[in-house]
């Protein structure tokens, strides 16, 4: 199923705990609202990571929408996911630029990595998802999902929350209250409403209390500034191709360009493929965990589709893509898994990509507001990993599970780095994933038979969880 959604009930009302399946939709008005919420969830990271890698953020937004549509078509609409900018390549890209590589070298290396990822997905599709479960059993997958979510905690603590702690706190409380105290559709879009509330509160605070002295993410230091800044919105054109843009230090960033492939640079980003395989498998399993659907048959397609999205984006000079944990968090909060909302989000992203003014509007969201929203979303993502463990009976009294997974999670959460050379460092999600996966298999191989046989846990992540649904 790619199109042709069935209207869920009357398309308007939802009972507490009721879910909307991927092949269903609410009324188009409500679907558009949910799609907008997905755009909000992905926009910050999808916009920021290209800047970190020295790539064009407007082009990244545009290509994320196109990659998402390709992804949904390849998986036949069975896996609701959004493809935003991947953070797994940041370390490799930094190494390329440290060795004198430019943007075409960066996108050329990412293009090859995307092709490799797509080929791995094809192999998994034809060999069966069992190969993924052998490499990534529930114990390991839960750890990967958890470390992906909790790795984002420093983003909240170091970047968003310090910009305005009181607005962040108020926004967080607002989201919690609305999501639990409201009934029907209002409770389902608590994240989006939290954004509106926080934005309005920041504007009122500027008028009532004046400027704030706090951490300024743009300047990278503590400054005195307004919470809201509409200058960039006024200056940005309404329509325009992502040709060239400028980042804060005045450095010009290339827009559309052809990639240049160099084996030396390719080797620097290939380790990210390992993390992406585990990340994609973890995301697919997290979606399966929430919906109760058996997504094993489309696991390979999902991984291949991510590779296709990354290849397509980098082919024109865009940023690498991956299924986004932030949007999985939105689904966990709303229990609306309709792929129609993702198509809406993709179209909106494409429009943003052709409109610097709309991009500036969303990018101008005060950091304190994002702090209040992300502290909820990122925590929910991490706890989905614990849910996978619980529903699959993973035994942490078994040192095969306890020791290597604990190490991988802490490495990822703390963004611990392993320096190989002056120009190549592995850390964060990539290193944490490798430690969790490789460490678990090493521990299993060395363990006595009674510990080895009991370490795997459940054989499937399809559970009869509250709010879950079964494929018809």
What pLDDT score does 465 carry?
30
What pLDDT score does 471 carry?
37
Which of helix, strand or coil describes residue 253? strand
Strands (E), 50-95: 83-85
* 170 against 160, higher pLDDT: 170
pLDDT, tens only, 345-390? 999 889 888 887 766 676 677 888 888 888 887 787 788 788 878 8
Q: Which H or E element spans position 110?
A: helix 103-127
pLDDT tier for residue 117 given thresholds of 50, 70 and 90? very high
Region 140-158 average pLDDT:
81
Backbone φ and ψ of 66, nearest 5°: -65, -40
CB 457 within 8 A of CB 394: yes
CA 271 to chain centroid, in Å, comes to: 19
Determine the Cα–Cα distance for residues 381 and 416; give it in Å rounded to an integer. 20
pLDDT tier for residue 124 given thresholds of 50, 70 and 90? very high
**CA proximity to 394, closest of 136, 135, 139:** 139
pLDDT tier for residue 329 given thresholds of 50, 70 and 90? confident
pLDDT tier for residue 108 given thresholds of 50, 70 and 90? very high
pLDDT, tens only, 17-71? 778 888 888 888 888 888 888 887 777 667 767 866 778 888 888 999 999 999 9
What pLDDT score does 57 carry?
80
**Greatest mean pLDDT among 90-104, 227-241, 392-406:** 392-406
Region 463-467 average pLDDT:
30
Within a 10 A sphere around the Cβ of 127, how many other Cβ atoms? 11
pTM score, two decimals? 0.69
pLDDT tier for residue 457 given thresholds of 50, 70 and 90? low
pLDDT tier for residue 13 given thresholds of 50, 70 and 90? confident
* 56 against 436, higher pLDDT: 436
DSSP secondary structure, 393-436, as one string: T--TTSHHHHHHHHHHHHHHHTT-EEESSSS-EEEHHHHHHHHH
pLDDT, tens only, 197-242? 998 999 999 999 998 888 876 666 888 888 888 777 777 788 877 7
pLDDT, tens only, 268-317? 787 778 778 877 887 888 888 777 788 888 999 999 999 999 999 999 99
């Amino acid at each position: 199923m790619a199109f042709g959604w069935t209207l869920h009930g009357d398309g308007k009302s939802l009972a507490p705990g009721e879910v909307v399946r991927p092949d269903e939709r609410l009324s188009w008005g409500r679907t558009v609202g949910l799609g907008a919420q997905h755009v909000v969830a992905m926009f910050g990271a999808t916009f920021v990571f290209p800047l970190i890698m020295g790539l064009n953020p407007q082009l990244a937004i545009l290509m994320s929408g196109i990659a998402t549509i390709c992804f949904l078509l390849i998986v036949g609409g069975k896996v609701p996911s959004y493809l935003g900018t991947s953070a797994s390549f940041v370390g490799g890209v930094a190494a390329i630029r440290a060795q004198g590589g430019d943007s075409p070298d960066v996108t050329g290396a990412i293009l090859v990595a995307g092709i490799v990822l797509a080929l791995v997905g094809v192999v998994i599709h034809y060999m069966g998802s069992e190969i993924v479960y052998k490499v990534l059993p529930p114990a390991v997958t839960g750890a990967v999902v958890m470390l992906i979510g909790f790795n984002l905690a420093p983003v909240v603590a170091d970047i968003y929350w310090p910009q305005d702690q009181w607005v962040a706190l108020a926004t967080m409380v607002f989201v919690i209250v609305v999501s639990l105290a409201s009934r029907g559709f209002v409770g389902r879009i608590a994240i989006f409403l939290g954004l509106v509330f926080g934005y309005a509160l920041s504007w009122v605070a500027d008028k009532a209390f004046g400027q704030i002295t706090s951490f300024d993410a743009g300047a990278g230091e503590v400054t005195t500034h307004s919470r809201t800044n509409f200058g960039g919105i006024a200056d940005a054109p309404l329509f325009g191709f992502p040709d060239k843009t400028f980042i804060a230090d005045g450095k010009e960033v290339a827009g559309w360009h052809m990639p240049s492939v160099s084996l030396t640079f390719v080797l620097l980003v290939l380790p990210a493929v390992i993390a992406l395989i585990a990340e994609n498998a973890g995301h697919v399993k997290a979606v399966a965990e929430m919906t109760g659907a058996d997504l094993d048959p489309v696991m390979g397609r999902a991984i291949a589709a991510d590779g296709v999205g990354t290849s397509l984006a980098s082919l024109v000079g865009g940023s690498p893509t991956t299924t986004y944990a932030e949007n999985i968090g939105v689904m966990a909060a709303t229990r609306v898994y309709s792929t129609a909302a993702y198509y809406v989000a993709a179209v909106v992203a494409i429009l943003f990509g052709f409109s610097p003014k709309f991009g500036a509007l969303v990018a101008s969201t005060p950091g304190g507001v994002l702090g209040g929203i992300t502290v909820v979303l990122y925590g929910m993502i991490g706890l989905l990993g614990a849910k996978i463990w619980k529903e699959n009976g993973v035994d942490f009294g078994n040192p095969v599970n306890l020791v290597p997974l604990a190490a991988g999670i802490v490495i990822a959460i703390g963004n611990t780095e392993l320096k190989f050379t002056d120009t190549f460092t592995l850390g964060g999600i990539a290193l944490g994933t490798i430690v969790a996966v490789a460490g678990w298999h090493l521990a299993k191989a060395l363990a006595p038979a009674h510990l080895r046989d009991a370490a795997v846990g459940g054989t499937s992540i399809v559970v009869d969880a509250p709010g879950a649904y079964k494929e018809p």
